[in-house]
Amino acid sequence: MDISLKNVEYRYQADSPFERLAISDVSIDIPSGTYLAIIGHTGSGKSTVLQHLNALLKPTRGSVVIGSREIRAKRKEKNLKGVREKVGIVFQFPEHQLFEETVEKDIMFGPMNFGVSEKEAKARARAAINLVGLSEEILEKSPFDLSGGQMRRVAIAGVLAMEPEVIVLDEPTAGLDPRGRKEIMDLFYSLHKQKNLSTVLVTHSMEDAARYADEIVVMHQGKVFTKGTPELIFSNPQALIELGLDVPEVVGLQLRIEESFKTKFKKISLSEDELAEMVAEFLEGGGLK
Amino acid sequence: MMEKMIFGRYVPGDSILHRMDPRSKLIIVFLFVCVVFIANNAWTYGILAAYTFIMVGMSKISPRFLYGGLKPIFLLVVFTFLLHIFMTKEGDIVFELGWLKIYEGGIRQGIFISLRFFLLILITSLLTLTTTPIEITDGLETLLNPLKKVNFPVHELALMMSISLRFIPTLMQETDKIMKAQTARGVEYNSGPIKERIKAIVPLLIPLFISSFKRAEELAVAMEARGYKGGEGRTKYRQLTWGMADTGMILFLAAVTILLIVLRG
């Protein structure tokens, strides 16, 4: 399912003393099957953009096209369930949304809201809990007896069980330990590949953006600062650093090597192996002299 | 979704009401709550309404914003009105349809009581809209100070109040966040049959309860870690100053009160 934002503007609390322009003139295309990362500072409007992807927020100007549905500014939109079924959002700290008596019921909650039968929902809960790497015994437990990391996984399973075509992730690994982080990110990446999902990742982690995304959008002060492939975005690290953003560690290392040895490699590398090769080449070419 | 709600919220500004001492504002609100009951005819209610609208004007808060924010509460006012219209059986019958009888007294009562309710809401909202929670608490604490002699826990009460006021916006944000998360999971809060919408409250309330308890515990730990041990010997950074405007506003309300007593039927 394709999603596209056209000149979207959003004001929080329009017409009140608290009115605040969150994003303006944001245009982003997310063709089916893309892995898009949105990066930017806190307050750059990332989360606001994200909430437009399944019509949780409606633009105050511009329009959002989600599949065959168009959401326009200043129009009453009814019956958005169809949209929400196809676009699953994993919010920041999704474990805060758990409420049912058992993990199983909580995972079934989403699918059943969208009219899936109880039997089917049960099967989906089972599949989802395996997918997020938890054992099936956990299904009978109360979600509030679990550890933080397990709760996070259960909440994610609750969104996966809806079997969305587009999955939107808002800092899904915030507060997890490094191993949990990697496992969760790898899980989303393999789902993305296997089921040909579109994935939108809102993140602070340049590592994740560089490693997984096909396309990166950099947000700054409510506007799209730049967008393009990771190679393109990180080929101009200076611009990112000026915005106060990090660059991936590999890129940072490459910049430091280039500086110390007064040289310039042929391109910006996004993986350790690539950088190692370029350094080796440089050394063989007698670069140390 | 909840962002329009203004109950308990502070709007920064520089009006007379904003600059007044919180003590005088608290006294005025307290007096107003009593004075409201003096009114018993059209004239006196008119004066009360005029007084309230003068106050709204002085606060320089846009009426449109005020209206938008109080809309959910207006429902309660309308409900009160309807309750009185149908339940009061006094005076002549004005309208009759089968078992449904509406009396003249009912209409009078309905208008007066809901107007009273409405004015009270406006005045108390003005208090919180123009006074920061900290000011309110400081004001209340000083006003109630004499009660300490009879072992009334003034400081604790003030603290409790400031904590609850402080966490209203936080709770609102959290409600909004969880509402959005559940909406994304297919719950509909703004449309659909009433029965479904009532059922939809459970997935909202349980997470809110849990996070509130957690927050309370964290807050208690944080306060203890910073050496909080009650009001004894605690000094104040903010000093309250009583000015001309404060005396003036109280005298104004006193004048209105006298007028009300005179015109009362």
Return the minimum-mean-pLDDT range out of A218-232, B65-79, B140-154, B198-212.
B65-79
CA–CA distances in Å: residue B156 to residues A168, A237, A241, B191, B223: 45, 54, 49, 43, 14
| Distance, C-alpha B58 to centroid of its chain | 18
CB A177 within 8 Å of CB A149: yes
- Look at residue B14 and tell me if it is in a domain: yes
Q: Are residues B51 and B172 in the same domain?
A: no
In angstroms, the CA B114 to CA B77 distance is: 5
Average of per-residue pLDDT across A111-118: 92
- 3-class SS shares of chain B: helix, strand, coil, % to 5: 70, 5, 25
Distance from CA of B78 to the nearest CA of A (A): 24
Average pLDDT of chain A?
90
Say yes or no for a CB contact (<8 Å) between B207 and A16: no
Closest-CA residue to B202 (of B174, B184, B182, B172): B182
Q: Are residues B104 and B176 in the same domain?
A: no
Residues of chain A with C-beta less than 8 angstroms from the C-beta of B187: 113
- Look at residue B81 and tell me if it is in a domain: yes
Q: Which residues of B234-251 are buried (b: 16+ CB within 10 A; e: fewer)?
A: eeeeeebeeeeebeebbe
Give tens-digit pLDDT for A226-283: 999 998 898 888 888 888 888 888 888 888 888 888 888 888 888 888 889 888 888 8
- Look at residue B225 and tell me if it is in a domain: yes
Q: Are residues B208 and B222 in the same domain?
A: yes
- Look at residue B149 and tell me if it is in a domain: no
Q: Are residues B228 and B254 in the same domain?
A: no
Distance from CA of A20 to the nearest CA of B (A): 12
Closest-CA residue to A86 (of A112, A66, A103): A66
Q: Are residues B252 and B224 in the same domain?
A: no
- Structure confidence at residue B57 (pLDDT): 93
Q: Are residues B79 and B186 in the same domain?
A: no
Interface predicted TM-score (ipTM): 0.87
Residue extents of the structural domains in chain A: 32-57+80-230, 248-289
Q: Are residues B80 and B6 in the same domain?
A: yes
Q: Are residues B59 and B77 in the same domain?
A: yes
pTM: predicted TM-score of the whole model, two decimal places: 0.75
In angstroms, the CA A206 to CA A202 distance is: 11
Confidence of residue B4 (pLDDT cuts 50, 70, 90): low
Using a CB–CB cut-off of 8 Å, the residues of A that contact B are 12-13, 15-18, 51, 54, 56, 78-79, 81, 84-85, 87-89, 91, 94, 96-99, 109-110, 113-114, 144, 158-159, 162
Give the helix/strand (H/E) hosting A108.
Answer: helix A103-113
In angstroms, the CA B263 to CA B265 distance is: 6
DSSP structure string for A213-262: -SEEEEEETTEEEEEE-HHHHHT-HHHHHHTT----HHHHHHHHHHHHTT
Between B180 and B232, name the one with better pLDDT: B180
- Structure confidence at residue B1 (pLDDT): 43
| Distance, C-alpha A32 to centroid of its chain | 15
- Look at residue B136 and tell me if it is in a domain: no
- Look at residue B220 and tell me if it is in a domain: yes
Q: Are residues B53 and B184 in the same domain?
A: no
| Distance, C-alpha B231 to centroid of its chain | 27
CATH of domain A32-57+80-230: 3.40.50.300
> Does residue B93 sit in helix, strand or coil?
strand
Specify burial of residue A103 (Cβ count, 10 A radius: 0-12, 13-18, 19+).
buried
Residues of chain A with C-beta less than 8 angstroms from the C-beta of B181: 89, 91, 94, 96-97
The two tokens of residue A44 are 């750059």
Q: Are residues B75 and B172 in the same domain?
A: no
The closest CB to that of A96, out of B178, B188, B191, belongs to B178
Highest mean pLDDT among A9-23, A208-222, B162-176, B190-204: A208-222
The closest CB to that of B186, out of A98, A110, A144, belongs to A110
Give tens-digit pLDDT for B93-111: 777 777 777 888 888 888 9
CB B130 within 8 Å of CB B59: yes
Give me the domain span that covers residue B223.
155-234
Residues of chain B with C-beta less than 8 angstroms from the C-beta of A113: 185-187
DSSP structure string for A142-185: -GGGS-HHHHHHHHHHHHHTT--SEEEEESTTTT--HHHHHHHH
Q: Are residues B18 and B112 in the same domain?
A: yes
Total tally of structural domains belonging to chain B:
2
Specify burial of residue A189 (Cβ count, 10 A radius: 0-12, 13-18, 19+).
middle
Whether B23 has a pLDDT exceeding 60, the answer reads yes
CB A234 within 8 Å of CB A39: no
Q: Are residues B125 and B200 in the same domain?
A: no
Whether B3 has a pLDDT exceeding 60, the answer reads no
Average of per-residue pLDDT across B252-258: 95
In angstroms, the CA B154 to CA B152 distance is: 6
- Structure confidence at residue A287 (pLDDT): 62
